Amino acid sequence: MRSAKDFFRPLAVGAPTPLTEIPARPSRAIHFFDPSNEKMAAKVPQMVGTVDVLLGNLEDAIKADNKVAAREGLVTIAQGTDGLGGPQAKTQLWTRINALDSPWALDDLTTLVPAIGDRLDVIMVPKVQGAEDIQYVDRLLAQLEAKAGLDRPILVHAILETARGMVNIEEICGASPRMQGLSLGPADLAADRRMKTTRVGGGHPGYLVRQDPPVNDLGISEVDANRTTYQQDLWHYTIARMVDACAMHGIYPYYGPFGDIADVVACEDQFRNAFLLGCVGTWSLHPKQIAIANRVFSPSVEDIRHARRVVAAMGDGTGAVMLDGKMEDDASLKQCLVLVELAEQLAAIDPELKKQYDALDGEEA
Ligand SMILES: CC(C)(COP(=O)(O)OP(=O)(O)OC[C@H]1O[C@@H](n2cnc3c(N)ncnc32)[C@H](O)[C@@H]1OP(=O)(O)O)[C@@H](O)C(=O)NCCC(=O)NCCSC(=O)C[C@](C)(O)C(=O)O
Ligand SMILES: [Mg+2]
């Protein structure tokens, strides 16, 4: 563990000073593309400005034979695409490097940082097991940033994909001032936990609770298979744990992948559960998931209307008032302010959303 006085010191001479606060940049959809896939790569320039984050994936889903092509493709795309990546860009540029124990991770970092370090906002590290993985990347990035003369630290995002990573979640979040956030890796995590699922995220029809049975005159249950069942969320515990760990450390939780690309309805449900629990965004694997993520992770106009009314009704923010038959007080005001602040951040980059929220301005509180 680093002492508090050293925590915000650069880990290499000449490396940029770590940030004391992680900027709340909109990142509703982190859209994955394979930089070695010509068709996908060709779509990147037209996606800039339409999605909050474009992520060049180098890890799983990239064939072993294409690992070098993906890395080089990402460099070409980052260098040749205007408006992509960097602190002022509307669309951030992230990458997911290969796992730290793979033959590719070191070359990923030593190639990308000198070539496109000024464009790369966040590096996603897969299969993080504990603070030691983050600390390794932290020091190496500092050395590479110093060598490349970068003036801004590249942030780090961990994917939770192992039981050990989940158990060590708080120490992972607090391992470095570079830590930007966490994502759920449901497929690897399920395998590591030996869950009996075969999907990439989403629910399972077998994970359910069933309505109580009818009871006969003697008070004995009559077993009836045709009772209503309610499918439960397999990921509730994991997401809730991520949200707490991130909130405690001032970093951001994200859902992750939803592999049933065709099922846009269940995808939206899963994303919304994560939004309501505190996540700021999710992954998009296919272009059609971007609009779903943008919709779900932007507060609705109705929520903002209500939140603004509570803010207005609460005056100096203390005490209790009645609004529409409900009690509002300091704590409900704080919840409303979370939504109002998020709406302001999103309106600053999303003109369509800004128009919708601005239309509320004339309404009476
Ligand atoms: C699902 C797939 C195979 C369907 O790909 P497709 O070609 O069959 O789909 P399509 O509907 O036919 O595509 C229509 C058009 O969109 C393009 N397209 C399609 N996808 C994209 C994209 N992402 N970005 C940009 N363009 C895309 C595609 O090339 C095509 O272009 P065309 O009209 O010119 O022919 C494809 O979308 C894909 O490969 N997506 C990315 C998958 C990925 O990144 N997986 C890894 C993340 S999940 C994960 O790793 C798990 C985790 C966290 O580790 C753990 O839980 O453990
Ligand atoms: Mg994985």
pTM score of the predicted model: 0.97
Atom of ligand 1 nearest to the CA of 39: 29
Confidence band for 191, pLDDT divided at 50, 70 and 90: very high
Among protein residues, the one with the nearest Cα to ligand 1's atom 31 is 39
ipTM reported for the complex, 2 dp: 0.99
* pLDDT confidence of residue 114: 98
Closest to 135 measured CA to CA, from 108, 103, 100, 104: 100
Q: What whole-number distance in Å separates Cα of residue 357 and Cα of residue 4?
A: 41
Confidence band for 269, pLDDT divided at 50, 70 and 90: very high
Q: What is the number of other CB atoms lying within 10 angstroms of the CB of residue 157?
A: 26
Topology annotation, domain 4-205+230-297? TIM Barrel (3.20.20)
Q: What type of residue is 362?
A: G
Q: What whole-number distance in Å separates Cα of residue 92 and Cα of residue 29?
A: 11
* pLDDT confidence of residue 365: 60
Task: Quote the ligand 1 centre to 202 CA distance (angstroms).
Answer: 17
Atom of ligand 1 nearest to the CA of 60: 50
Residue with tokens 């897969």: 126
Q: What is the number of other CB atoms lying within 10 angstroms of the CB of residue 362?
A: 6
Ligand closest to 238 (CA) is: 1
Please check the confidence at residue 364 and state whether its pLDDT lies above 70. no
Closest to 97 measured CA to CA, from 48, 178, 158, 36: 158
Task: Quote the ligand 2 centre to 362 CA distance (angstroms).
Answer: 47
Confidence band for 227, pLDDT divided at 50, 70 and 90: very high
Q: What whole-number distance in Å separates Cα of residue 81 and Cα of residue 255?
A: 27
Ligand closest to 195 (CA) is: 1
Please check the confidence at residue 336 and state whether its pLDDT lies above 70. yes
Task: Quote the ligand 2 centre to 100 CA distance (angstroms).
Answer: 13
Residues belonging to the chain:
365
Mean pLDDT of 234-246: 97
Atom of ligand 1 nearest to the CA of 161: 57
How does pLDDT run across 19-71, given as a tens digit for each residue? 999 999 999 999 999 999 999 999 999 999 999 999 999 999 999 999 999 99
Task: Quote the ligand 2 centre to 218 CA distance (angstroms).
Answer: 53
Ligand closest to 128 (CA) is: 2
Residues of the chain with CATH 3.20.20.60: 4-205+230-297
Atom of ligand 1 nearest to the CA of 187: 56
Which structure tokens are listed for 360? Answer: 């509320």
Mean pLDDT of 217-224: 88
How does pLDDT run across 166-186, given as a tens digit for each residue? 999 999 999 999 999 999 999
How does pLDDT run across 99-131, given as a tens digit for each residue? 999 999 999 999 999 999 999 999 999 999 999
Task: Quote the ligand 1 centre to 220 CA distance (angstroms).
Answer: 53
Which structure tokens are listed for 168? Answer: 């060590």
* pLDDT confidence of residue 1: 77
How does pLDDT run across 57-90, given as a tens digit for each residue? 999 999 999 999 999 999 999 999 999 999 999 9
* pLDDT confidence of residue 234: 94
Ligand closest to 257 (CA) is: 1
Mean pLDDT of 269-280: 98
Q: What whole-number distance in Å separates Cα of residue 121 and Cα of residue 104?
A: 20
How does pLDDT run across 129-151, given as a tens digit for each residue? 999 999 999 999 999 999 999 99
Backbone angles phi, psi at 158, to 5 degrees: -105, 140
Among protein residues, the one with the nearest Cα to ligand 1's atom 37 is 286
Confidence band for 188, pLDDT divided at 50, 70 and 90: very high
Mean pLDDT of 185-205: 97
Atom of ligand 1 nearest to the CA of 57: 44
The mean pLDDT value of the chain amounts to 96
Which residues contact ligand 1 via a Cβ below 6 A? 32-34, 39-40, 43, 57, 60-61, 159, 161, 185-188, 200, 256-257, 261, 285-287
